[in-house]
Structure 1
Amino acid sequence: MDHRTVYSTLEAVCVETIAALTRLESLRCSDATARLLVTMTHIQEHGRAVEGLVTGFAAVYHHFDFDPQTPGNGYRTLVKVVHSCILHIIQKGRYIATNCGGVFFRVEHNAGEMQTYCVALCQLRALLYLAQRLLGENQHGQLYSQDRELSKRFVKEYTSMHKACFYGRCLGFQFSPSLRPFLQTVVISMVSFGDNYKKHQTRLGRAALSFFTSGKYVVDPELRGAEFERITQNLDMHFWKTFWNITETELISSLASITSNIVQVNLMLTVPGEPLVLPLSSDPNLSVTVSPPLAHWGPGPVHMRLISHSLRQGQDSAELLVFSGPETPLRSLTVGPRLQRACLSPWLLVHFHGGGFVAQTSKSHESYLKSWSRDLNVPILSVDYSLAPEAPFPRALEECFYAYCWALKNCNLLGSTAERVCLAGDSAGGNLCITVSMKAMSHGVRAPDGIMAAYPATLLTTDASPSRLLTLIDPVLPLSVLYKCITAYTGADSGSVQQVQQLDTLSALGQDTALLLRDITQGASSWLQSLLQEKPAAQASTSRATNGLRDPTPHSEDVQEGPREFPEGFEPLRSGCLAEIRTPCTPVMNNPFVSPLLAPDSLLKGLPPVHLVASALDALLDDSVMFAKKLRSIGQPVTLTVIEDLPHGFLSLSQLSKETQEASNLCVGRIREVFVSPPL
């Protein structure tokens, strides 16, 4: 829908709804009707102001696209999100105008929902003003701010602005409708888990207890939003690692494996850290020695997972199985005397998983990797690199580079001749795909034949960009969490560096399972208490949240002191949950092997074809757009695909909806291009 049509429709709906509510108020006046009437007036005001802002962006945002065939950048996304919010308001407003006089019309419910969207529109209006400031101060076509003071002011605005409305009633309004129930489940699980995070229980026990305490967050979306805002701004990195790693428990991963594809090889490998000798790419008669990972605590093993839809030659060899270890279950390798081994594949896919450099493993991602192995008919080696903050940069990069070199040298054991090798990864893994390739070129080792990086992090700094403004509303990647990941990986919190035992993901699962019945009993008791005893507290919290939504334009005494980022007469709603977000500040952030967007041309020249698959609604969208532009400017082969309506991390959601499956299939198509396209 054309943006002019959107705002003319909004204006007409506001006029119609205000007229209908005015008639209703004259017949049966109530506090809820009066609030709804005031809310519609505020929406009308915000809509008129936002229209002018959007018109300004629409006139110029095409200058920031990668090319005319790939419309996508943070300015476009902000406009898209605003329109999504307005379309919800239009739909709800039409319903109210038509039904407000009916006997079964629930005035209180509709007033609460419309208030929430009104506040969301108010906060989005504030983001448009901040983006307008970026647009005015950045160079032509530049998405990231070069002004560090401006970026600091944006962080200050983020910490003070109200965000809870985006995690309550209107949670995920900007995403595909098929994903909203899942996002609601994730947010409810997270705030429930946060309730029990500090209690002395097993982690599986905390998950069980969280199940029983989640009821109040289901029935009270305002309470859920306020608690999610508190958690994202105040809980430490250990909480996020623990929560994200719940998917690593055998109980949950077993449930996930029910719906995933069956593969004949799913083998964990532990490769000792020993020097490797590989031929030089420029002259195969000469060789180069690749050292094992050394950063922080010296040589150590590298852990990997081999996934193959078909059992191929070498994959059940004694030479490979010596790396599997005694803990590998027999079902990881399907072997039988009559099972025919397929021949070596000419292709090999090396995968680096996402998780913000701080969480998850190949196990978290094996569901879509199994599908990829089937669809591409290729063996996949997924690397379980050491995680921050215990293992900050450059440990993960060293381990991934070493694993890549080991795969080249031992490809026949992995079921491949490695005639064509592709690197693939998402988010943090996408960053590692790029930096491993840069490291291979700098060492004179054969570079991969191509890269598929899904929503990669290419700039691990605190620079502001229009897409990073989305962290105010994003349930997957809030700014405070993004900064925690950057701080952890860059080693800004250097006191936490220590040698880690691989896979700190509920390793004591047997004990946890034995105690599960006890925890469920305790959880059931707490759940009953939450319904019987905590009801007044929940109601009080809901009342406070609702009172905060009554006036979307707060009074001047609520506004923080300092330079104004907004025009006179407007202020966004401020948060009642203030927190001082620790802004990462270390020279390592500017290291080209941390932030490849900052790499000099000499380090990027010679990279293989890079296929970037980004999401329009991802806070890291501008990372992909600017990196694609940079590669194109120096003549490097690059493609950029921008997918609509999906959040950051959509590959891990590939089995949840048709849209996420199609996005995963697109990534498979890009990988296939690497394998079948002729060499450069």
Structure 2
Amino acid sequence: MDTKAVFTTLYSVCEENATFFSGGAKGSQGDAARRLVDVMNLIQEHTRSLEPVICGFASVYHHFDFDPHIPANGYRSLVKVVRCCILHIIQKGRYITANRRSIFFRATHNAGEMEAYCNALCQLRALLYLAQRMLHDNKHGNLFFQDESGLSESFVREYSTMHKGCFYGRCLGFQFTPAIRPCLQTIAIGLVAFGENYRRHQSGIGVAASSFFTSGKYAIDPELRGAEFERITQNLDVHFWKTFWNITETEVLSSLASMTSAQVKVNRALSVPPVPFDLPLAGNHRASVTIPPPSAHIGTAPIQMRLISYDLREGQDSETLLSLSRSEGGAISLSLGLKTKRIPSSPCLLIHFHGGGFVAQTSKSHEPYLKSWSQDLGVPILSVDYSLAPEAPFPRALEECFYAYCWALRNHHLLGWTGEKVCLVGDSAGGNLSVTTSMRAAAFGVRMPDGIVAVYPATLLTAYASPSRLLTLMDPLLPLSVLSRCLSAYTGRCVCTQVEKVSTLSLVRKDTALLFRDLRQGASNWIHSLLDSNRASPSPTTAGKAPLGHSREFPLGFEPLRTEQPAEMRMKSSPVVKDPFCSPLLAPDSMLKGLPPVHIVACALDPMLDDSVMFAKRLRSIDQPVTLCVVDDLPHGFLSLLQLSRETREAANICMERIRTVFTQVDTPPEPRKHRKLERTDRCVSASSGDTGPLIVCPMEEVELTAGKETRIVDGEVLVDVAAKNKTDADGIGP
């Protein structure tokens, strides 16, 4: 279905339903029927204005792709999200058409559904207008407006005042694959319930109990959930996010995750003393350089790491390594038996830097996919638990990651590694650290890694505007206000005051009286939540709108919905963000030319997609080996959602295959590899309905269509049978 057909279908569905309910037809239900008529007409109004804008983007956004075979950039993503929203409206409109005469038809519920998507469409219309200005003001082919005044400042100002709750209620995660939406909904309900009880002076178990009792009202009232989600993301500081994200580090949840992940022979937490040592120079092995221990901000301290190995290899049970083991939960983290067979050292080592916005999580919350990789790749993995911001801002994490990398080179015999090949891999913040650690290795003149695999990396930590960053308005995992707080913490500009941090299990040992007090208070909160659930939540359709002409960013006569609680967004950033070791996208060519082959795996719907696309372009422009693979329909952080769906598992396997490429083909381009059901991104219609797995944008020679279909390649184009071809878009979304 092409773009013209999508709009035509929408107009037809809305007009037909509006006519039915406005004519007083049998089955219409008073006020609900009038609401349905109004929302159908408003949807048509928004769509008529959007149609020429989308067609305009479709004619030019190919200029911003990495190459013709990888159609991905922020402009395409925005158009895809709008199309996805329209397809949802068509689907719900058709449901209304088919069921409106039934005695079981709930007109009020369906009116609420359509109003929610109408509000989302209104806000998406505003985002496309902002993207239009970016397209006009940016340099040709550049996705970032590299100035923190003007356009970037306007974007932050608009974000802080625009209503966002509609994207966190009924429409939560509508742009992602259906398999992942229940998980996102659970995270959102847990977040708002946790946020409601976060600042209360209770024991940890009391916070958990209260959150459990109060979560019910957010599950049954999506509008209330959306409003509370917006309040939390705009008002609570980085310490709240650190506490919430670290829930996965608790013993209960980590044990559950461990039970469902691969069982490994070695899973050992290490604490390496901060002592200087020498490493030979890469260009002259007779000379050496001293590697100093990390010292920024918090002084010298042991560097924390985790060694994971599916098999017990030589050196991994040595007395020297055992002396470096640290306890976890009162016991040494070992998975060894007396009769465990030791096998020879591996020629390859994977060094991993975890994500978490530079402020949260450790290797423990990333164990599930690391264990799987260790089993499937047959290599040991060393994951670095670097110090976190805001207590340890830049460059502390980079210093520790570089020190850990050099320590692994020097002590390969302890890790079950021969010292031959090493790959750095990181996701999100860890992707940034994997690149900057390699840059630091080049600066010191020591051996470079054989390759880098950066998964949805952050390569530009400034407040520069880009089309993909407009997605922060609706992203449930990376709202702009949260992202900016994390980056401010990492760059040393965190001005939030330290609040009393509450951990769900940290105070479990409080006496019985406190426990019963907290449970009693939790039950009281639950009762109040039920009484409050009937309160009318603020409706986005009646949310305060600025007077017409309030903003110069939008055409006369249009204004997006505005929030009642504007976010406190500070535009001015620290000069640190422009440091090449902080924002590698801004590094001069001379620093990037020394990098090893870089393999980037990004997400088409990730607010940080443009970071990956532009960084890949930078590397290619200086003839550095680089590959870019873009996974569709999955959110930022899909590695942490590995076990939730087939789509996330397939995407994680792509990352693993990129690592395998580093280990097997260091000096030559990667061989074409095949994915199951990997097709072009222009299959967004079928993807939105859940017919396919994740859509992977890879070079065409790497694409394998569904088994059993005839394929052939003509002039670089993959041709399929007529049935498959009819599923692709004809509006230029593909290359």
TM-score calculated relative to the size of structure 2 = 0.87
- Larger helix percent: 1
> What does residue range 33-432 of structure 1 map to in structure 2 within 5 Å?
33-147=33-147, 148-325=149-326, 332-432=333-433
Deviation at 1:493, TM superposition (A): 3.0
> What does residue range 517-532 of structure 1 map to in structure 2 within 5 Å?
525-526=520-521, 528-530=523-525, 532=527
Deviation at 1:519, TM superposition (A): 7.3
> What does residue range 490-529 of structure 1 map to in structure 2 within 5 Å?
490-493=491-494, 509=505, 512-515=507-510, 525-526=520-521, 528-529=523-524
Deviation at 1:68, TM superposition (A): 1.1
Residue 501 of structure 1 is matched in structure 2 by: none
Cα deviation per residue 1:310-339 (whole Å; 9 max; x = unaligned)? 000000000111111355866732333432
Deviation at 1:251, TM superposition (A): 1.2
More displaced stretch, 484-493 vs 145-154? 145-154
For residues 322 and 440 of structure 1, the distance between their equivalents in structure 2, rounded to whole angstroms, comes to 28
Residue 608 of structure 1 is matched in structure 2 by: 596
Q: Secondary structure at the match of 2:538?
A: helix
Cα deviation per residue 1:381-403 (whole Å; 9 max; x = unaligned)? 00000000000000000000000
What code does the residue aligned with 1:514 have?
R
Residue 579 of structure 1 is matched in structure 2 by: 567
1:678–1:234 distance in 2 versus 1, CA, 3 Å: closer
Cα deviation per residue 1:400-435 (whole Å; 9 max; x = unaligned)? 000000000001100001211000000000000000
1:215–1:523 distance in 2 versus 1, CA, 3 Å: farther
For residues 604 and 471 of structure 1, the distance between their equivalents in structure 2, rounded to whole angstroms, comes to 29
Residue 19 of structure 1 is matched in structure 2 by: 19
Selected match of 1:641 from 626, 629, 635: 629
Deviation at 1:494, TM superposition (A): 7.3
For residues 288 and 33 of structure 1, the distance between their equivalents in structure 2, rounded to whole angstroms, comes to 77
For residues 256 and 353 of structure 1, the distance between their equivalents in structure 2, rounded to whole angstroms, comes to 17
State whether structure 2 residue 438 is matched by structure 1 residue 437: yes
Q: Secondary structure at the match of 1:296?
A: coil
Deviation at 1:620, TM superposition (A): 0.2
Q: Once the two structures are aligned, what percentage of the paired residues are identical?
A: 61
More displaced stretch, 408-417 vs 581-590? 581-590
Deviation at 1:69, TM superposition (A): 1.1
Q: Secondary structure at the match of 1:132?
A: helix
Q: Is the 8 A contact 2:485 2:494 kept in 1?
A: no
For residues 130 and 35 of structure 1, the distance between their equivalents in structure 2, rounded to whole angstroms, comes to 29
State whether structure 2 residue 654 is matched by structure 1 residue 666: yes
For residues 327 and 238 of structure 2, the distance between their equivalents in structure 1, rounded to whole angstroms, comes to 32
Q: Secondary structure at the match of 2:357?
A: coil
More displaced stretch, 19-28 vs 251-260? 19-28
State whether structure 2 residue 550 is matched by structure 1 residue 549: no
Q: Is the 8 A contact 2:204 2:502 kept in 1?
A: no
For residues 270 and 337 of structure 1, the distance between their equivalents in structure 2, rounded to whole angstroms, comes to 24
Residue 537 of structure 1 is matched in structure 2 by: 532
For residues 617 and 625 of structure 2, the distance between their equivalents in structure 1, rounded to whole angstroms, comes to 11
Residue 698 of structure 2 is matched in structure 1 by: none
Deviation at 1:22, TM superposition (A): 2.2
For residues 122 and 520 of structure 2, the distance between their equivalents in structure 1, rounded to whole angstroms, comes to 41
Q: Is the 8 A contact 1:213 1:526 kept in 2?
A: no
Q: Is the 8 A contact 1:20 1:100 kept in 2?
A: no
1:35–1:326 distance in 2 versus 1, CA, 3 Å: closer
What code does the residue aligned with 2:263 have?
I
Unaligned runs of 5+ in 1: 498-503
Q: Is the 8 A contact 1:212 1:524 kept in 2?
A: no
TM-score calculated relative to the size of structure 1 = 0.94
Q: Is the 8 A contact 1:18 1:37 kept in 2?
A: yes
For residues 284 and 418 of structure 1, the distance between their equivalents in structure 2, rounded to whole angstroms, comes to 15
What code does the residue aligned with 1:315 have?
Q
For residues 306 and 600 of structure 2, the distance between their equivalents in structure 1, rounded to whole angstroms, comes to 24
Residue 447 of structure 1 is matched in structure 2 by: 448
What code does the residue aligned with 1:34 have?
R
Q: Is the 8 A contact 2:450 2:666 kept in 1?
A: no
For residues 432 and 641 of structure 1, the distance between their equivalents in structure 2, rounded to whole angstroms, comes to 19
What code does the residue aligned with 1:444 have?
G
1:327–1:650 distance in 2 versus 1, CA, 3 Å: closer
1:402–1:331 distance in 2 versus 1, CA, 3 Å: closer
State whether structure 2 residue 591 is matched by structure 1 residue 590: no
Cα deviation per residue 1:120-177 (whole Å; 9 max; x = unaligned)? 0000000000000000000110000124221111111001101000000110000110
Unaligned runs of 5+ in 2: 669-735
Q: Is the 8 A contact 1:209 1:522 kept in 2?
A: no
For residues 134 and 428 of structure 2, the distance between their equivalents in structure 1, rounded to whole angstroms, comes to 25
Cα deviation per residue 1:605-657 (whole Å; 9 max; x = unaligned)? 02100000000010000000000000000000000000000000000001100
More displaced stretch, 205-214 vs 522-531? 522-531
1:494–1:218 distance in 2 versus 1, CA, 3 Å: closer
RMSD (Å), alpha carbons: 2.1
For residues 291 and 473 of structure 1, the distance between their equivalents in structure 2, rounded to whole angstroms, comes to 43
What code does the residue aligned with 2:51 have?
E
1:378–1:3 distance in 2 versus 1, CA, 3 Å: same
What code does the residue aligned with 1:576 have?
E
State whether structure 2 residue 645 is matched by structure 1 residue 657: yes
For residues 27 and 326 of structure 1, the distance between their equivalents in structure 2, rounded to whole angstroms, comes to 67
Deviation at 1:513, TM superposition (A): 3.5
For residues 524 and 108 of structure 1, the distance between their equivalents in structure 2, rounded to whole angstroms, comes to 36
1:475–1:584 distance in 2 versus 1, CA, 3 Å: farther
Q: Secondary structure at the match of 2:285?
A: coil
